[in-house]
A and B are shown apart, each in its own frame.
Chain A
Amino acid sequence: MKLTVRIWRQAGPAAEGRLVSYPVDGLSPDMSFLELLDVLNQELIAAGEEPVAFDHDCREGICGSCGVVINGQAHGPERTTSCQLHLRSFADGDVIDVEPWRAKGFPVIKDLVVDRSALDRIVQAGGYVSAPTGSAPDAHATPVPKPDADLAFDNATCIGCGACVAACPNGSATLFTAAKVTHLSLLPQGQPERAQRVLDMVDAMDAEGFGGCTNTGECVASCPKGIPFASISALNREFRKASRTGRR
């Protein structure tokens, strides 16, 4: 099949960017979207041009490295990661726009590569259980009700790709933060730091320049891992409760 991709090219953080159109022929519907970029890059290299920079690694939908806005949607038309999107989702002859994640919290580094380290700093602010190595009690010492463990797991599956931020009209990282807060607040191991955790993580999120949440729901619609909308309400509840106790 043949497609035309219009790709955001930007030489560096300070450079001006623009969409450049590239026709690519001889494609197979079984290719992943990133393999389309591979094919294009091989052609660009052969033509003496600079290949398109993009982030990717596992190409199995789990590492969270890849992510581009395809035709205005984070990760494209299917609810999956860009590496697990296949060309069979498009029609022969389509023109496809490919852009980097757009958000104040994600400065562009080059072409489709953005800096998502702000998400790491949100986790560093408190997205963990303080459990020094070697001091843990036997794993069976604290039973966890299966429904709690399952819901914690659902939230723990967040891959930190940043699609929620890119999809949000406010550039908010609320769904990301909500997933981590919900994961840890459901487990007995996460209780002692529960209040402090949510206060610190929300503070960090605001400090990184992410926008506020207005319950638009675009984040949930674009999340490749299906983090539930309810996690945002859970985050809000946790935050209100912690604010009342005023723990610092």
Chain B
Amino acid sequence: MGFLFEDGNFALFRDGFLQTIELSALSALLALLLGTLLAACRVSPVPVLRGFGTTWVTLFRNTPLTVLFFAVTFGLPPLGVHFSHLTFAVLALGGYTASFVCEVLRSGINTVPLGQAEAARSLGMTFGQTLTQIVLPQAARTVLAPMSSVFIALPRNSAIAGAFSVSELYSAQQTFSERGYSIFAIFFWVACAYLVISATVALLFRSLENRLAVAR
């Protein structure tokens, strides 16, 4: 278990840990933005947009994340798109998670009572105002619990990026096993790192839930 504190191993481990956090945070941001946009499409009164949202979500939810990573990492360069591996990973992970965020938000929107929107409209608010100031804030609060499981899953899923040349925790594990350390010791430390990340996200959402709980 002590190998972590020998010959610069700790630096590698720390860099992997920070890279995992960076990748997760960027993907979470992209997933939130894109997911909100998709949810807006899926509940809009325009059938074409609803169809677009449904198709997107169906496609992305039913494609394995590994295949998405494969498609982005190997499919974009031949088209002349050259980003860093981290950017590719953020695109795949964010795009995948966005479809789950969209579904969670949509189910949250369905829990907002009709009267809230009617009150907003009777004040003369437009569709955009009703959505962004009345409905989405309330929906966001109701969906905190399901949303937390989406964002606890995200750092776990980010491990796949390591197999596509992003130097995060998974690739740190790979390097350690190439250096010949016991797989159980490596597994122990990597497991601890992921548990810390999951627990932090869970705590964050717990405190948000306590602070933002809706009294209805």
A binds B: no
Residues of A within 8 A of B (CB): none
Residues of B within 8 A of A (CB): none
